[in-house]
């Protein structure tokens, strides 16, 4: 039996971001990439526009992100800054999926993904290049 994957990022093991929290994080990452400062009020306006949340709901979810250490809120204006990157969250979630559903075996996950759909020639070429890169 394969050993579970070890953590490779600094993301806390106990940090699980739920779908609602990920919606906020995605917006913060997008704004950070665009070099924009974002206030809690801005986040509430965006969540109302895109998801239909009330300001109270957004602030509650944002507070959970702050408590988990995923977001920092600073004065003045409650400026929100992500403390974890999208890549860290992707690594964590992928590791959790592999450990939970594929006995810690990344190759079983890849085999499952590939087996469920017909790959194009370009996709096969990219996969071969990735495997070659990992080998060499």
Angle at 107 between CA 114 and CA 136, to 5 degrees: 105
Domain ranges of the chain: 19-86
Q: Collapse the DSSP code of 100 into the 3-class scheme (helix H, G, I; strand E, B; otherwise coil) and give the result.
A: helix
Q: What is the pLDDT of residues 23-47, one digit of tens each?
A: 999 999 999 888 889 999 999 999 9
pLDDT at 14: 55
State yes or no: pLDDT of 6 exceeds 60: no
Give the residues across from 113 on adjacent strands.
Answer: none
d(CA 106, CA 12): 21
Name which of 70, 64, 62 is nearest 88 in CA terms.
70
Domain 19-86 falls in which CATH fold?
Answer: Arc Repressor Mutant, subunit A (1.10.10)
pLDDT at 89: 92
Mean pLDDT, the chain, integer = 87
Q: What is the pLDDT of residues 8-24, one digit of tens each?
A: 444 454 578 999 999 99
Q: What is the pLDDT of residues 102-132, one digit of tens each?
A: 999 888 888 888 887 788 889 889 988 988 8
């Amino acid at each position: 039996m394969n050993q579970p994957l070890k953590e490779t990022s600094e993301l806390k093991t106990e940090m699980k971001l739920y779908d609602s929290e990920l919606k906020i994080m995605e917006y913060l990452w997008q704004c950070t990439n665009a070099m924009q400062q974002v206030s809690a009020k801005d986040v509430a306006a965006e969540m109302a526009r895109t998801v239909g949340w009330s300001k109270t709901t957004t602030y509650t979810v944002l507070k959970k992100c702050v408590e988990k250490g995923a977001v920092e809120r600073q004065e003045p204006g409650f400026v929100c800054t992500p403390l974890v990157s999208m890549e860290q969250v992707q690594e964590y979630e992928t590791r959790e999926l592999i450990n939970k559903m594929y006995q810690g075996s990344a190759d079983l996950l890849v085999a499952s993904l590939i087996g469920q759909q017909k790959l194009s020639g370009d996709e096969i070429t990219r996969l071969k290049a990735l495997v070659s890169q990992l080998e060499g």
